[in-house]
Amino acid sequence: MSDSFLGTGWGFPPTFDSSTDTIVMTSDEADIHQSLQILLATRQGERVMVPDYGCNLDEMVFEPMTTTFKTYISEMIQTAILFYEPRIDLNTVQVDDSRETEGVILLILNYTIRTTNSRFNFVYPYYKNEGTEIH
């Protein structure tokens, strides 16, 4: 086990090491990165014990790409991170729609880890097509 002050948790997706009969763990910046991945991919209500956890991005699949849509999705992400990822300060959220015709919108999060004052970015690909249509 790690004694990381940024946190240690199960790796995502959960993986088991058969040679040591343990769960693969992740720590520090990688743990925060995976936590953001989980937060943005989780629909509110999926977690029984924390029903407000998540960011309902899947509801936005058929919305037209307007300034209002970009602002709304940015606010959804900011609110989810404010409540469920206290280890970071979110600096900016950018919505890159340059690949919209391919069905991909990139959500670019720039953040600072509070305890180390280190800056990172996280790019979350938001697919507007179902998974079987992606090439």
> What is the average per-residue pLDDT within 62-90?
92
Cis geometry, peptide bond prior to residue 125 (ω within 30 degrees of 0): no
Tokens representing 115 are 């305890």
Q: Which domain holds residue 122?
A: 8-133
Q: Look at residue 129 and tell me if it is in a domain.
A: yes
| Percentage of residues in the chain having pLDDT higher than 70 | 90
Would you say residue 23 lies in a domain? yes
Indicate whether 37 belongs to any domain.
yes
CB 16 within 8 A of CB 25: no
Number of domains in the chain: 1
Mean pLDDT of 35-64: 90
CATH, residue 57: 3.10.450.40
Residue 3 forms part of a structural domain: no
The answer to the question of residue 43 being in a domain is yes
